[in-house]
Amino acid sequence: MAIEFSKYSARSTLRVDLSALKHNYETLKKKVGGATVAASVKADAYGLGIKPVARALYGAGCRVFFVATAGEGKILREHVGDTPSIYLLNGPASRDLRLIFGADLKPVINSLEQARLWASAADPVGSPPFSAIHIDTGMNRLGFDSDELTSLARNKKMFEKLGVDLVMSHLACAPDTSNPLNKEQLNRFRRASSQLPMKPLSLANSAGIFLGKPYHFQMVRPGIALYGGKSSSGPEASAIRSVVSLLAPVIQTRNVKAGETIGYDGLFKTERDMKVAVLAAGYADGIPISASGIGTKRAAYGTLYGKRVPIVGRVSMDLTIVDISKMEKPINAGETVEFFGEHLERDASSMETISYELLTRLGQRCRREYLTAS
Ligand SMILES: *Cc1c(COP(=O)(O)O)cnc(C)c1O
Instruction: Mark whether 264 is an active-site residue.
Output: yes
Instruction: Ligand 1 pocket test: pick from 140, 168, 170, 205 the residue with the most ligand atoms within 8 Å of its Cβ.
Output: 205
Ligand 1 centre distance from Cα of residue 41 (Å): 9
Is the pLDDT score of 3 beyond 70? no
- The pLDDT-based confidence of 234 (bands split at 50, 70, 90) is low
- The reply to whether 145 and 99 lie within a common domain is yes
| Residue 26 located in a structural domain | no
Structural domain count of the chain: 2
> Does position 277 have pLDDT exceeding 60, yes or no?
yes
Task: Give yes or no: residues 195 and 330 share one domain.
Answer: no
For residues 116-139, give the mean pLDDT: 87
The partner residues of 135 in beta bridges, in order of sequence, read 144
Query: Is the predicted pLDDT of residue 34 greater than 60, yes or no?
Result: yes
Query: Which residue minimizes the CA distance to atom 13 of ligand 1?
Result: 170
Residue 235's pLDDT is: 63
Residue 6 has pLDDT above 70, yes or no: no
Q: Which pLDDT does position 374 carry in this prediction?
A: 57
Does residue 2 surpass a pLDDT of 70?
A: no
Separation between Cα atoms, residue 123 and residue 136, nearest integer Å: 27
**Mean of per-residue pLDDT scores for the chain:** 94
Residues 215 and 316 in one domain: no
pLDDT at 352 over 70: yes
Rg over alpha carbons for the chain, rounded to the nearest Å, is 24
Domain boundary residue, one of 208, 229, 250: 229
Task: Give me the percent of the chain exceeding a pLDDT of 90.
Answer: 90
As to burial, measured by CB atoms within 10 angstroms (0-12 exposed, 13-18 middle, 19+ buried), residue 127 is exposed
Note whether 176 and 201 are same-domain residues. Answer: yes
Regarding whether 220 and 247 lie in a shared domain, the answer is: no
Task: Give yes or no: residues 256 and 221 share one domain.
Answer: no
How much is the average pLDDT of 225-244?
85
263 assigned to some structural domain: yes
Taking residues 191-220, report their average pLDDT: 97
The mean per-residue pLDDT over the stretch 22-49 comes to 97
Ligand 1: nearest atom to the Cα of 174 = 7
Return the pLDDT at 238. 81
Query: Is 22 one of the catalytic residues?
Result: no
Q: How do beta strands 201-202 and 164-168 pair?
A: parallel
In short, whether 206's Cβ falls inside 6 Å of ligand 1 is yes
Q: Which of 66, 88, 144 for mutating ligand 1's site (highest number of atoms within 8 Å of CB)?
A: 66
User: How would you classify the pairing of strands 106-109 and 85-88?
Assistant: parallel
Which protein residue has the closest C-alpha to ligand 1 atom 6?
223
Query: Do 269 and 339 reside in the same domain of the chain?
Result: yes
Domain presence at residue 76: yes
Ligand 1 near 208 CB (within 6 A):
no
Tell me if 23 CB under 6 Å of ligand 1: no
What's the rounded Cα separation, in Å, for the pair 241 and 229? 8
In this structure, is residue 27 part of a structural domain? Answer: no
Q: Is 270 in the pocket of ligand 1 (CB under 6 A)?
A: no
Mean pLDDT along residues 129-136: 95
Report yes or no on 237 lying in a domain: no
| Residue count (the chain) | 374
284 & 201 share domain: no
C-alpha 67 to ligand 1 mean position (Å): 9
Residue 183 or 235, more confident: 183
Is residue 348 included in any domain, yes or no?
yes
Q: Considering 188, 205, 229, which residue would you say is the last residue of a domain?
A: 229
Question: Which stretch of 79-93, 227-241, 287-301 has the lowest confidence by average pLDDT?
Answer: 227-241
Mean pLDDT of 130-139: 97
How far away, in angstroms, is 108 Cα from ligand 1 center?
A: 13
Same domain, 193 and 250: no
Residue type, 212: G
Q: Is the domain of 197 the same as that of 259?
A: no
- CATH number, domain at 354? 2.40.37.10
Report DSSP state, residue 145: -
**Which of 21, 53, 89 is the pocket-test mutation for ligand 1 (most atoms within 8 Å of CB)?**
89
Residue 133 belongs to some domain of the structure: yes
Strand partners, 245: 15, 340
Residue 44 has pLDDT above 90, yes or no: yes
pLDDT band at 127 (very low <50, low <70, confident <90, very high): confident
- Tell me, yes or no, whether 143 and 279 share the same domain: no
Per annotation, catalytic residue among 22, 42, 74, 230: 42
The reported pLDDT for the residue numbered 159 is 95
Q: Which structural domain range is residue 78 located in? A: 32-229
Q: What is the pLDDT of residue 106?
A: 97
Whether residue 219 is found in the same domain as residue 288:
no
Catalytic residue among 156, 264, 305, 326: 264
Looking at residue 221, which CATH number applies to its domain? Answer: 3.20.20.10
Of the residues 168, 200, 229, the one at which a domain ends: 229
Per the domain annotation, does 236 fall within a domain? no
What span, in angstroms and rounded, lies between the C-alpha atoms of 195 and 155? 12
230 in ligand 1 pocket by Cβ < 6 Å?
A: no
Question: Quick one: pLDDT band at residue 125, thresholds 50, 70, 90?
Answer: low
State in Å, rounded, how far the first CA of the chain is from the last one: 42
Q: What is the pLDDT of residue 59?
A: 97
